[in-house]
């Protein structure tokens, strides 16, 4: 794999994003790599819990703006957002065993949205979270459809409409993050939590996971993702991307 690594040991799987020179932002190939792992491992009876984390100073900065700028046709944008971004986030939400997000650094845009799909989130104190999409003519589908059920409509609206970064501590107080640790303690704490899950009855855990996933409004998420494709092809979004890339 080019943009991530995967290992499975003692029932615990770990996906690590390794595109750290680009803040682990997602291009089409990276979305496909992640989907392939999820699709391959969803039927693995030896897997009890899945951890997803990033290498470097970012968990993920979201979708790769440089690649988005190259997608000039609607069908290409549909492939990027619906067959890439939305398909992967849905696969994480519906993954048959619990998922734990180990947020090692900044989680912006799609990286923040992915965080909302994890069953548990352990964050480094150094992490920050933000939805900057509206500033470039886009929307965060999960931020608008999944986040309100986690933290309440008003707080979710504030995060989306203002797009201002929040700290790990603020995310914890809102209920987005479940545990906060020092950066150097992140993976030890995540493994500790994962081992507790892996040592529980696997069938009961899978049933519990199924009902946890059903609480997320994936119907609304799908509809909002479709509107994202429309917005990404707007003149404002095109001009905003061009301005950003000139900085």
Residue with tokens 């794999």: 1
Burial class (CB in 10 A: 0-12, 13-18, 19+), 9: exposed
> Residue 126 contacts by C-beta under 8 Å, 6 or more apart in sequence?
104, 105, 168, 183
- Taking the alpha carbons of 102, 107, 112, 114 in that order, is the dihedral positive or negative? negative
Helix (H) or strand (E) run with residue 4 in it = strand 4-9
SS3 of residue 143 by DSSP: helix
Q: What is the pLDDT of residue 245?
A: 65
Q: What is the pTM of this model?
A: 0.94
CB 68 within 8 A of CB 241: yes
- At 176 the pLDDT is 98
d(CA 22, CA 134): 21
pLDDT value at residue 73:
59
DSSP string, 63-84: B-HHHHHH--SHHHHHHHIIII
Burial of 83 (0-12, 13-18, 19+ CB in 10 A): middle
**pLDDT computed for residue 66 by the predictor:** 80
For each of the chain's 247 residues, which pLDDT tens digit applies?
Answer: 999 999 999 999 999 999 999 999 999 999 999 999 999 999 999 999 999 999 999 999 999 888 877 766 555 777 788 778 999 999 999 999 999 999 999 999 999 999 999 999 999 999 999 999 999 899 999 999 999 999 999 999 999 999 999 999 999 999 999 999 999 999 999 999 999 999 999 999 999 999 999 999 999 999 999 898 888 888 888 788 777 766 6
- Compute the C-alpha angle 221/79/102, nearest 5°: 55
**17: β partners:** 4, 54
pLDDT at 243: 76
Whole-number pLDDT of residue 233: 81
Residue position matching structure tokens 């933290």: 151
Give me the pLDDT at residue 72, please. Answer: 61
Q: How many CB atoms are closer than 10 A to CB 77? A: 19
Domains and CATH numbers, the chain: 4-198 (3.90.226.10)
- The whole-number pLDDT of residue 193 equals 98
How confident is the model at residue 75, as a pLDDT? 56
- Give the Å distances, CA to CA, from 35 to 86, 152, 195, 241: 10, 30, 24, 26
């Amino acid at each position: 794999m080019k943009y991530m690594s995967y290992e499975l040991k003692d029932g615990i799987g770990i996906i690590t994003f390794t595109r750290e020179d680009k803040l682990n932002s997602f291009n089409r190939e990276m979305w496909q790599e992640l989907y392939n792992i999820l699709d391959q491992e969803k039927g693995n009876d030896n897997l009890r819990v899945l951890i997803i984390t990033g290498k470097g100073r970012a968990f993920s900065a979201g979708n790769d703006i440089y690649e988005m700028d190259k997608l000039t046709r609607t069908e290409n944008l549909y492939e990027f957002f619906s067959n890439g971004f939305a398909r992967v986030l849905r696969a994480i939400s519906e993954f048959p065993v619990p998922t734990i997000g180990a947020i090692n650094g900044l989680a912006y845009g799609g990286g923040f949205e992915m965080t909302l799909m994890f069953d548990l989130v352990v964050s480094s104190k150094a992490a920050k979270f933000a939805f900057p999409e509206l500033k470039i003519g886009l929307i965060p589908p999960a931020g608008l459809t999944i986040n309100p059920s986690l933290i309440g409509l008003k707080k979710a609206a504030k995060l989306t409409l203002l797009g201002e970064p929040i700290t790990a501590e603020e995310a914890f107080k809102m209920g987005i993050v479940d545990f906060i640790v020092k950066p150097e303690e992140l993976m030890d704490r995540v493994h500790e939590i994962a081992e507790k899950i892996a040592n529980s009855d696997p069938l009961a855990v899978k049933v519990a996971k199924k009902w946890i996933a059903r609480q997320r409004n994936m119907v609304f998420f799908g509809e909002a993702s479709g509107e994202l494709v429309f917005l990404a092809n707007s003149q404002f979004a095109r001009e905003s991307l061009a301005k950003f890339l000139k900085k």
